[in-house]
Amino acid sequence: MDRKWRNWRFSRKTHLLVLFALLLLQNCLVISETFAETETSVHIIYMGDKIYDDPKTTKRFHHKMLSSLVGSKEAAKNSIIYSYKHGFSGFAAKLTKSQAEEIAKYPGVVQVIPNRIHKLHTTRSWDFLGISHPSKSVLTKSNLGEGVIIGVIDSGIWPESKSFNDEAMGPIPSHWKGVCQEGEQFNSTSCTRDGTGHGTHTASTAAGYFVENANYKGLATGLARGGAPLAHLAIYKACWDLTEGDCSDADILKAFDMAIHDGVDVISVSLGISIPLFSFVDQRDSIAIGSLHAISKWITVVCSAGNDGPVSQTITNTAPWLITVAASTIDRTFPTAITFGNNKTVWGQSVDTVHNLGSIGLTYSERIAMDPTDDLAKDCQPGSLNATLVAGKIVLCFSKSDQQQDIVSAAITVHEAGGVGLIYAQLHDNGLTPCGSFPCIKVDYEVGTQILSYIRRARFPTVYLSIPKTVIGKWISPRVASFSSRGPSTVSPYVLKPDIAAPGVDILAAFPPERTRQKNGFIFLSGTSMSCPHVAAITALIKSKHRTWSPAAIRSALVTTASQTGTDGEYISEEGSTRKAADPFDIGGGHVNPNKAMNPGLIYNISTEDYIQFFCSIGYSSASISSVTKTTTNCKKGTYVPWNLNLPSIIVPNLKKTTKVTRTVTNVGHVDSIYKAQVKAPYGIKVIVEPEVLHFNSTTHTLSFDVIFQPNQEQHGDYKIGSLIWTDGKHIVRSPVAVRTMKFDL
């Protein structure tokens, strides 16, 4: 999901396998209950795992069921939108309220779900991650992702982009079964459509081909490429340009269903729901349910974490089988000099290259308010400025802490009043937004105050705005982006989220040119939408080398090899109100390290049965679990504990007494290896690891160990952070640890 998507709305040949299963939504608007009973709206009839192996038989079964409800085959044909028949069973249909209630009673129907809408959540980032070309890096070791298919569930694609040139692409992988899916008022030529540009950006970030001299209006010029440039792309259009790129449950589930059928290896999903979250087996969370069926078929699913940070407990896509990605900065910035009439210079940042205005008059917005008695002019709200006093000047505005206004809206206000430029002082916030042909520069409050002081002292204040520069390697990075959603998870505190962090700020990638207002078709976007395809690409590289690894194994490799330090050698910090050192609720295991993830040493594996036991441990009923997994489940009370799910992280949210956590690791490194434990105990907690040494050989590939936590304090506390490392002298296998002492029930 990309951050503040509304701010960007104004704003090879295709891969041999840029094949599309584009999904047609005919009428998926949720109809208010106040409408007449005869009004229909889309409902999803979810029936769990498949009953029949033959998709045609499954589809006939769906039509027969619907016909019995609506009275005829013709009525059923007009009602049904999708038949889910590959990865799971069910269908989406237009039903009245009473019909939805009636079909919910039919045998085999798990749940009838009203259709909801989800929101959509590079030239430098891959070099920053250590994936260079040509080099002896992870790219070479993994053949640039060749033979792997990445499925992207998003808004479509613009295949004419140079990023999707099919030069040097290998043959279509033999396990591919997909086609361009046509539909009513949607023929094969529509498979080139990307209404918002979001899908083009994410797909090219994941697997775009090499494009020389890529740039945005001369900024960030360089060689653009995706992380897995020879991987094949399968694009699933589930998001439509209805209201800022909406994505419905019906479309999302169909995308997962088709991706499973088509044979993709990795699925990238840069979208999600908002708080409050649904339980992991609640069919209303279409991403959790669709991805659960996908991982059961050995397909790794990577999702964005959300853009509601830096507030805690805002993380989305928290299912334990997902790889959930936070956003971080890279070491590239676009500083812009702001020179006063007295020759003093301060610095802001901008991606607008129309600053060559010469020396221009400078004023402060409150000085030119339409109504000096109100406070609207401070952050340049619409209609708040006196056009006579603004004309021909650059205006300084201060954002209010409630963030009702943003830099683009302020720029529109100044422009409409006759101003020629904007300097916008605001709380620190990652990501730069272009203002089109109108120059706008972002500064922090400290610099904003310096500019205001100059305005107050000068008799005729003037300013000269320089054209922004592209600067690499001068800013400490990575840092956790201010907008990146934070944990802990609100739906299950036993699952540490996010899993990993990756670049997601000012990422340059392909975009339809008519939406960028420039010919070369590249643009900057920021958000966890951008960090998600970075990890999806790295996942494809890992999959290319380790074809038999499970989704859990790949997630483990990413988490346990991640970095905790920045370019200055200090702990990665988070860009928020405190700029504290980042903890696992900000970045999970840390910042992704592709080269180390290819050879993690040990992995934490998880089977479908393990997830079922986890469901039992957190109180889900046997019936609700069976309805999703189509297995006979009998949860026995007290048999399982939630903290024993074999994740590559450990979180104990309610430590009241001595608690034992069990984990199992599998050796994927040298056959004869000895690993020793190193513990950094959370403050106030005693930690014991048994055994402290693990011996692997040709007959012993998998070993278990216990981690025992003992509280040393008598007060109720907040989470304390630590880590557990297993090392053989070559590999460092690190698990983040978070423990909260509880002395009374909340």
Q: What residues are labeled active site?
A: 154, 198, 529
The CA dihedral of 201, 205, 207, 213, to the nearest 10 degrees, is 90
Question: Which candidate, 40, 139, 11, places its Cα nearest to that of 438?
Answer: 11
Could you give the CA distance from residue 711 to residue 563 in angstroms, rounded to a whole number? 28
Record the tokens describing residue 352, joined without a space. 């607008």
CA distances (Å), 204 to each of 15, 100, 715, in order? 11, 40, 51
Q: What residue has token string 């479309």?
A: 251
Q: What is the phi/psi pair of residue 261, to 5°?
A: -65, -40
Q: Give me the half-sphere count of Cα atoms (radius 13 Å) on the Cβ side of residue 290.
A: 31
Could you give the CA distance from residue 326 to residue 315 in angstroms, rounded to a whole number? 9
Could you give the CA distance from residue 92 to residue 109 in angstroms, rounded to a whole number? 12
Q: What is the phi/psi pair of residue 265, to 5°?
A: -100, -30
Could you give the CA distance from residue 160 to residue 612 in angstroms, rounded to a whole number? 44
Q: What residue has token string 């090499």?
A: 210
DSSP 8-state class, residue 2: B
Q: With contact defined as beta carbons under 8 Å apart, do 336 and 443 qualify? A: no
Question: Which candidate, 229, 329, 185, places its Cα nearest to that of 18?
Answer: 229
Beta-bridge partner residues of 536: none
The CA dihedral of 176, 605, 637, 278, to the nearest 10 degrees, is -50
Record the tokens describing residue 700, joined without a space. 């012993």
DSSP string, 604-633: ----HHHHHHHHHHTT--HHHHHHHH-S--
Could you give the CA distance from residue 717 to residue 707 in angstroms, rounded to a whole number? 20
Could you give the CA distance from residue 274 to residue 263 in angstroms, rounded to a whole number? 30
Could you give the CA distance from residue 230 to residue 228 in angstroms, rounded to a whole number? 6
DSSP 8-state class, residue 132: -
Could you give the CA distance from residue 652 to residue 571 in angstroms, rounded to a whole number? 23
Q: With contact defined as beta carbons under 8 Å apart, do 422 and 414 qualify? A: yes
CA distances (Å), 485 to each of 204, 272, 534, 723, in order? 24, 12, 17, 22
Record the tokens describing residue 285, joined without a space. 């969370």
Record the tokens describing residue 627, joined without a space. 């309805």
Work out whether strand 462-465 and strand 360-364 pair parallel, antiparallel, or are unpaired: antiparallel
Could you give the CA distance from residue 494 to residue 103 in angstroms, rounded to a whole number? 36
Residue 592: CB atoms within 10 A of its CB come to: 31
Q: What is the phi/psi pair of residue 479, to 5°?
A: -130, 150
**DSSP 3-state of 533:** helix
Q: Which helix (H) or strand (E) holds 425?
A: strand 421-426
Could you give the CA distance from residue 702 to residue 606 in angstroms, rounded to a whole number? 13
Could you give the CA distance from residue 202 to residue 679 in angstroms, rounded to a whole number? 38
Q: What Rg value do the Cα atoms of the chain yield, rounded?
A: 27
Q: Which helix (H) or strand (E) holds 286?
A: helix 286-296
Number of residues that this document lists for the chain: 746
Record the tokens describing residue 612, joined without a space. 């079922």
Could you give the CA distance from residue 595 to residue 128 in angstroms, rounded to a whole number? 12
Could you give the CA distance from residue 623 to residue 635 in angstroms, rounded to a whole number? 9
